[in-house]
Amino acid sequence: EYVGNARGVRCVADQVIVVGGTQQGLDLVARVLLEPGDAAWVEDPGYPDSVAALRAAGARPVPVPVDDEGLDVSAGERLSPGARLAHVTPSHQFPLGSVMSIPRRMALLAWARRARAWVFEDDYDSEFRYTGRPLPSLQGLDVERRPAATPACVVYAGTFNKTLVPTLRLGYLIVPGELVDPLRSARAVIDRHAPSFEQVVLADFIGEGHYVRHLRRMRALYAERQAELLAAADALLSGRLTLEPDAAGLHLVGWLPADSNDVAASARAREAGVETYPLTRFRLTPCARESRGALLLGYAPFDREAIRDGARR
């Protein structure tokens, strides 16, 4: 009920498979659906651990560039039209933060149907949206708009590890009906079941409305902290780091001046006691579309004083 109301996901309870998190879910799906050597689209820049999971399953990741509308589907079709899977973060692309537009979502689904491929929808950061209404999930669009007699092609993945506590290790897949039995069987082989006690407690937490209230409080708090980071950067880092507001997420991308080395800049920040991540770390090809250096700046755990102190350093 929650994902139906919040994300427009269309499913019944039997389609939900509980996993330890999105990473375990991707590993499970890749091992069941892909054969060794199968191509799989991945966002570039993107999440290295997702690439590692696909490689561990024997797949061949194909980096596809990302722009302001999300994954460039036409580029993916040029690079590997016969790929068997596409891994995407459409609600808030990691790390650049773009939201996949409706035309791109429809183009991705159309390609998957033509290619008889699967889309792994990692609904990363969908809960932390601060402005505007979230776009519908790919899973919901697939169910509602696919032609009659056309099989579903989206595996939806969500997690409670980011919204509650990382050590909880509870996530879920929502899968087409034809995948329920094979994925459940594979899940039982690698890990009999997720912790039952935590599932019962979490179900009550959601059912009694506490989870929605928790998200509402966290959204307000994180929106304030993003605003604090933007203000601190404007006051203390002007000319050295350019930040822009983001409608969602828990980090901002700070763009460095042209020809700056983001790896070196991140190392200097670490020496000053500020942990950042260079964008280069998440580029999968040296000729990615956006070559300008940048730093990823997380703000969620920090109060106003800590944010301003970090900017001063």
Residue 307 sits in a domain of what CATH number? Answer: 3.90.1150.10
DSSP designation for 129: B
Instruction: Check residue 169 and give its pLDDT.
Output: 84
Residue 110 has a CB neighbour count (10 Å cut-off) of 13
pTM, two decimal places: 0.93
Digit-coded pLDDT (tens) for 186-210: 998 887 777 788 899 999 999 999 9
Q: What is the mean pLDDT of residues 92-103?
A: 94
H helix runs in the chain, sequence order: 2-7, 22-33, 48-56, 73-79, 102-115, 138-145, 180-190, 196-207, 210-236, 262-271, 304-312
Do 114 and 235 reside in the same domain of the chain? Answer: no
Instruction: Note the pLDDT tens digit of each residue in 35-93.
Output: 999 999 999 999 999 999 999 999 999 999 999 999 999 999 999 999 999 999 999 99
Q: For position 287, what pLDDT does the model report?
A: 54
Q: Are residues 138 and 15 in the same domain?
A: yes
Q: What's the CA gap between 310 and 233, in Å, rounded?
A: 10
Asked if residue 59 lies in contact with residue 39, where contact means CB atoms within 8 angstroms, the answer is yes
Query: What gap in Å lies between CA 20 and CA 35, rounded to an integer?
Result: 23
Q: Counting beta carbons within 10 angstroms of the beta carbon of residue 132, is it exposed (0 to 12), middle (13 to 18) or buried (19 or more)?
A: exposed
- Is residue 178 domain-shared with residue 83, that is, in the same domain? yes
Based on the fold, state whether residues 99 and 218 are members of the same structural domain. no
Count of structural domains, the chain: 2
DSSP conformation letters of 223-255: HHHHHHHHHHHHHH-TTT-B----SBSSEEEEE
Looking at the structure, do residues 52 and 195 belong to the same domain, yes or no?
Answer: yes
Same domain membership, residue 126 and residue 18: yes
Claim to verify: residue 163 and residue 222 sit in the same structural domain: no
Instruction: Indicate if 202 and 221 belong to the same structural domain.
Output: no
Rounded Cα distance, 173 and 29, in Å: 9
Q: pLDDT tens across 278-301, in order? A: 999 999 987 544 568 999 999 999
Domain limit, last residue, from 155, 190, 207 = 207
Assess whether 232 and 106 both reside in one domain.
no
Q: What does pLDDT average to over the chain?
A: 92
Q: What is the pLDDT of residues 104-141, one digit of tens each?
A: 999 999 999 999 999 999 998 888 889 877 788 999 99
294 and 193 together in one domain:
no
Looking at residue 162, what is its pLDDT? 84
CB 229 within 8 Å of CB 299: yes
Same domain as 134, residue 28: yes
Q: Of 190, 207, 224, at which residue does a domain stop?
A: 207
The CATH number of whichever domain residue 159 belongs to comes to 3.40.640.10
Tell me the mean pLDDT in the region 253-267. 94
Q: Among residues 157, 177, 207, which one ends one of the domains?
A: 207
Find, among 113, 61, 119, the residue nearest to 90 by Cα: 119
The encoded tokens of residue 302 equal: 């920090």
Share of the chain above pLDDT 70, in %: 98
Average pLDDT of span 151-159 = 94
Can you give the residue range of the structural domain that contains 255? 212-312
pLDDT at 193: 73
Mean pLDDT of the region 21-31: 95
State whether 242 and 301 are in the same domain. Answer: yes
